[in-house]
Chain A
Amino acid sequence: MELRLKRVSARHPAAHAAAAPALDALDLAVASGEQIAIIGPSGAGKTTLLHLLACALQPSSGHVEIDGRDPWRLARRELRRLRGELFLAPQVPPLPPRQRVVTAVLAGRLPRIGLGHSLRSLFYPTAIGQADAALARFDVADKLFARVDRLSGGERQRVGLARALVAQPRLLLVDEPLSALDPSRAAQAVKSLVEGARGSGATLLTTLHDVPIALRNFPRIIGLRDGALMFDLPSAEVTPARLEALYAQKLEELQGVGAFDEPPAAKPAPVIMQCR
């Protein structure tokens, strides 16, 4: 999907009217099939940006265009069809605790099937193989018939990502997919996401706290801070100096995940060296 933001400002729905907007006059253009990582310190507006692109949040000013159309001018039925073509995976996986994993994963294809089919699938899952394949990509296939509340936090997060693959969206928006995963699982999860999106030609935007993983797996990096665009560059051009500026006064966020990814050197290395 092709995305375009023109001078878009947005505030969190629960925010005070006088509070500073979460995003301020942002311009952005994304071509179809691109893979982009959004980085920045917490509170930068990364999640708000994803919600804007997912038509989950209406901008307070400016224009959002998805495939050349303003979603907020569409008829209700058209807007719903558009929402069915995109997939927003929130940071906390939205899985009812008493649901089984197979049902939770297959819920990703609800927009593509009718009500009758979805009820039949509750009675006997109609695409067990599809769910199993998606789970296998995130190494949780053994939990296919387990209940969600029996899973660990990391397993739940991977089940949520498997649902995103089953949805086969044209636009995949993933919020912090790695927050509950250990380093090796995180690397595998990102790889599966990137490959899955590439395989179906979907546009992929992911917010990431883990800067090294972002730089390694995504060709284009967007740096957000305080609701404004700090940089929008190919990952090769994201220099340590730029990262330091992006995370200025919040270096521990950069440092924390950096140290997590690379084995610590014998003597404490400078923060920025750990980002590559």
Chain B
Amino acid sequence: MAAAVFPSPPQRRDPAWWGRVFWLLAGAVLIWPLLVLSEFKPWVLLAPDSLTPALRFLADFFPPRMDAPFLLMVAQETWRTVAIATAGLALALVLAAPLAILSVRVLSLSGMAGRMAAGPAAVRYAVRGLLVVLRSVPELIWALVFVRVVGLGVTAGVLAIALTYAGMLGKVYAEILESGDAHATISLMRNGAGRLQAFFYGLLPQNAAELTSYTVYRWECAIRSSAVLGFVGAGGLGQLMDSSMKMFNGSEVSTMLLVFVALVAATDRMSAALRKALG
């Protein structure tokens, strides 16, 4: 009976074993020159003359600075950071939503039966190109540009986030809308509904939860990146952190890092609650 179930001896070798060993070794051989070229030398971290100042700075992190005037200032800058992120994301939404709708293939009336007509196809390519340009410039670069144009302050940060995030949101919105089930949308258009009608009655309810959770996640990213933008003078918590860093004031930095952890955790809870509400 057992012989019938295991027709061959059980101690056979895995035939895939040699392939696995080969690709591991090949990967190591490929990665080694990359590490050399990028001058990746992690042991420098452990050299005594770089280790002591780093450890001193880190030791400063505890205890975080908690006196009332400083906390008040941190609270003010936190509020400003959230405001930059929210305003930036709202502007990005205003830009991204129409671009996403323009670039979604599902909403093509001519593409329903046969190939999409040449004109609409060209428009879709152009919009996708615009989205690529918007998001290929990092928000830090946009911020540096806008700091020159509108001066130091929150306006530069808001505009930088708006432009980069419009590119990202537009692209991902379009992908979410295209990957969902298009049956409801196409049925509406087949029965003579317009593109925008089909969007609001078919495509949007079909994908609302995914769109919302992605938007909240991007809001979280915007809060983080508005902190980075502060380092180039675009206001908010980042600018405060920049000055603390320059004075090697670890206890102030650690307070602000704790605020960031709290902010990210809060957006996480909010995203979960919104997803649940939209079910």
| Residues of chain A having any CB pair with chain B under 8 Å | 13, 54-58, 76, 80-88, 90, 92, 94-99, 103, 107-108, 110-111, 115, 118-119, 122, 147, 149, 167, 169
What 1/0 flags go to B160-203 for Cβ under 8 Å of A? 00000000000000000000000110111111111011101110
> Distance (Å) between the CB of B104 and the closest chain A CB?
15
CB contact between A98 and one of B191, B192, B278 (< 8 Å): that residue: B278
The answer for the CA separation of A9 and B160 in the assembled complex, in Å, is: 56
15 residue pairs bridging A and B, Cβ less than 8 Å apart: A56-B190, A58-B113, A58-B114, A81-B192, A83-B189, A83-B191, A88-B191, A94-B183, A94-B184, A94-B187, A98-B206, A99-B205, A107-B193, A118-B200, A119-B200
B184 partner residues in chain A, CB cutoff 8 A: 94-96
* B109 on interface, CB distance cutoff 8 Å: yes
Q: Is the CB–CB distance between B192 and A80 below 8 Å? A: yes
Number of A-B contacts (CB under 8 A): 86
B188 partner residues in chain A, CB cutoff 8 A: 94, 107, 110
> Distance (Å) between the CB of B47 and the closest chain A CB?
58
CB contact between A110 and one of B186, B194, B278 (< 8 Å): that residue: B194
The answer for the CA separation of A246 and B14 in the assembled complex, in Å, is: 55
* B7 on interface, CB distance cutoff 8 Å: no
The answer for the CA separation of A82 and B192 in the assembled complex, in Å, is: 7
Q: Is the CB–CB distance between A98 and B183 below 8 Å? A: no
B194 partner residues in chain A, CB cutoff 8 A: 80, 110, 115
> Distance (Å) between the CB of A88 and the closest chain B CB?
6
* B133 on interface, CB distance cutoff 8 Å: no
Given contacts A55-B113, A94-B184, 12 further A-B contacts (CB under 8 A): A54-B190, A57-B113, A84-B192, A90-B183, A95-B184, A96-B202, A96-B205, A98-B208, A107-B202, A110-B193, A110-B197, A115-B197
- Chain B interface main SS type: helix
A82 partner residues in chain B, CB cutoff 8 A: 192
Q: Is the CB–CB distance between A111 and B191 below 8 Å? A: yes
Which chain B residue shows the least CB distance to A167?
A: B191
B209 partner residues in chain A, CB cutoff 8 A: 98
What 1/0 flags go to B209-225 for Cβ under 8 Å of A? 10000000000000000
Which chain A residue shows the least CB distance to B192?
A: A84
Which chain A residue shows the least CB distance to B206?
A: A96
Which chain A residue shows the least CB distance to B193?
A: A110
The answer for the CA separation of A86 and B192 in the assembled complex, in Å, is: 8
Q: Is the CB–CB distance between B200 and A122 below 8 Å? A: yes
* Among all A-B residue pairs, the 10 with the closest Cβ atoms: A84-B192, A111-B192, A94-B187, A83-B192, A110-B193, A96-B205, A96-B206, A94-B184, A99-B205, A107-B201
A84 partner residues in chain B, CB cutoff 8 A: 191-193
Q: Is the CB–CB distance between B183 and A80 below 8 Å? A: no
Which chain A residue shows the least CB distance to B112?
A: A56
| Residues of chain B having any CB pair with chain A under 8 Å | 109-110, 112-114, 183-184, 186-194, 196-198, 200-202, 205-206, 208-209, 278-279
The answer for the CA separation of A167 and B278 in the assembled complex, in Å, is: 28
The answer for the CA separation of A58 and B111 in the assembled complex, in Å, is: 12
B183 partner residues in chain A, CB cutoff 8 A: 90, 92, 94
Q: Is the CB–CB distance between A98 and B205 below 8 Å? A: yes
Which chain B residue shows the least CB distance to A99?
A: B205
> Distance (Å) between the CB of B4 and the closest chain A CB?
37
> Distance (Å) between the CB of A120 and the closest chain B CB?
11
The answer for the CA separation of A85 and B195 in the assembled complex, in Å, is: 17
CB contact between B190 and one of A13, A88, A97, A147 (< 8 Å): that residue: A88
Task: Evaluate whether A83 and B201 lie within 8 angstroms (CB atoms) in the complex, with A58-B114, A76-B110, A92-B183 already known.
Answer: no
B190 partner residues in chain A, CB cutoff 8 A: 54-56, 83, 88
Task: Evaluate whether A110 and B279 lie within 8 angstroms (CB atoms) in the complex, with A54-B190, A76-B110 already known.
Answer: no
The answer for the CA separation of A253 and B201 in the assembled complex, in Å, is: 36
Q: Is the CB–CB distance between B205 and A86 below 8 Å? A: no
CB contact between A86 and one of B191, B200, B278 (< 8 Å): that residue: B191
B113 partner residues in chain A, CB cutoff 8 A: 13, 55-58
The answer for the CA separation of A94 and B181 in the assembled complex, in Å, is: 10
The answer for the CA separation of A92 and B181 in the assembled complex, in Å, is: 12
CB contact between B187 and one of A57, A90, A119 (< 8 Å): that residue: A90
A13 partner residues in chain B, CB cutoff 8 A: 113-114
A118 partner residues in chain B, CB cutoff 8 A: 197, 200-201
The answer for the CA separation of A151 and B205 in the assembled complex, in Å, is: 16
Q: Is the CB–CB distance between B279 and A98 below 8 Å? A: yes
The answer for the CA separation of A165 and B112 in the assembled complex, in Å, is: 24
Q: Is the CB–CB distance between B196 and A110 below 8 Å? A: no
The answer for the CA separation of A56 and B193 in the assembled complex, in Å, is: 13
The answer for the CA separation of A55 and B113 in the assembled complex, in Å, is: 8
